[in-house]
Amino acid sequence: MTFVDIRIGILNSPRELAFETSQTAAEIQKAVGDALAGGTVLTLSDDKGKHYVVPAAAIGYVEIGTESTRRIGFVG
């Protein structure tokens, strides 16, 4: 299974939302574009089932990481 790291900067907030999702980078980019174009809300979910809803007007930036698989075991 592949995962993508997401970081969302919120206007007027010193913290950012950061989580991992199993959605593809293309799906996330489309969801962000649709929310910004429509002036609605951005809704994403993480790999643990939590849902994040951010008003499009409050989005400062969205950083979409590259898709990667989760490694199991030790790195030598």
Count of domains forming the chain: 1
For residue range 28-60, what is the model confidence (pLDDT) as tens digits? 999 999 999 999 999 999 988 999 999 999 999
For residue range 1-27, what is the model confidence (pLDDT) as tens digits? 788 999 999 999 999 999 999 999 999
Which residues constitute the domain of residue 29?
2-67
Is 72 contained in some domain?
no
Tokens 């989005």 -> residue: 59
Nearest Cα to Cα of residue 6 among 54, 66, 64: 64
Q: How far is CA 69 from CA 10, 30, 39, 41, 49, in A?
A: 28, 21, 33, 28, 18
Is 76 contained in some domain?
no
